[in-house]
Amino acid sequence: MSKTLLNILLSILLLVPAQAVIFNNLILFNVAVPLVFIYVIVSLPVTLSTNVSLTIAFITGLAVDIFGDTQGVNALACTLLAFIRKPVYHLYMSIDDDLAGMRPSLRTMGYSPYMKYLLTMTLLYCFAVFAIEAFQFHNFGLMLLRIICSTAFTFVIIYAIDSLSIRQRQREKKL
């Protein structure tokens, strides 16, 4: 258990500054923003209690908010994402599959269910973030474009990160 928490903490400490310094500057055509730090929330173990995952998500979101000067936008969206994480997971995986207590990833879920799970989570998050921002601001067409482009961009980068970690594990096995 403590090893899992340590892993999560490490991923937060790695991804939040990376988001602030690198990914926030990687904006394509002023519409596609890679919100890579949600990998922290997406890859939380399924058996982790909702209370703990809500807390982790809120802290992660708040940290990103502080770096990005977006007062509460990401904190709110992360809380929402952590809350609907389990229902989304069970959309694509049956209940029995999560007893192993693994983190959702390509390796543990398989190719197609993980793609669907990741895409749904990314889309929901981008929708939440841009809707919350647009709540204070009226620009509907641009908002829609940003949601779609950001979802695609974020999806690709998180998928790449996840497959990288698979390859590393396989290499460790070989050794």
Residues forming contacts to another protein in the complex (CB under 8 A) are 17, 20-22, 24-25, 27, 30-31, 33, 49-51, 54-55, 58, 61, 65-73, 75-76, 79-80, 83, 132-134, 136-137, 139, 142
Residue 130 one-letter amino acid: F
Closest separation in Å from C-beta 66 to another protein: 6
Closest separation in Å from C-beta 101 to another protein: 18
**Helix 73-92 vs helix 50-68: angle between axes, to the nearest 10 degrees?**
140
Give, for 58, the enclosing helix (H) or strand (E): helix 50-68
Q: Which is nearer to another protein, 55 or 170 (CB)?
A: 55
Closest separation in Å from C-beta 137 to another protein: 4
Q: Which is nearer to another protein, 143 or 158 (CB)?
A: 143
Q: How far apart are CA 88 and CA 84, in angstroms?
A: 6
* Whole-number Cα distances in Å, 20 to 40, 41, 93, 107: 15, 17, 33, 28
Residue 65 one-letter amino acid: D
Closest separation in Å from C-beta 146 to another protein: 8
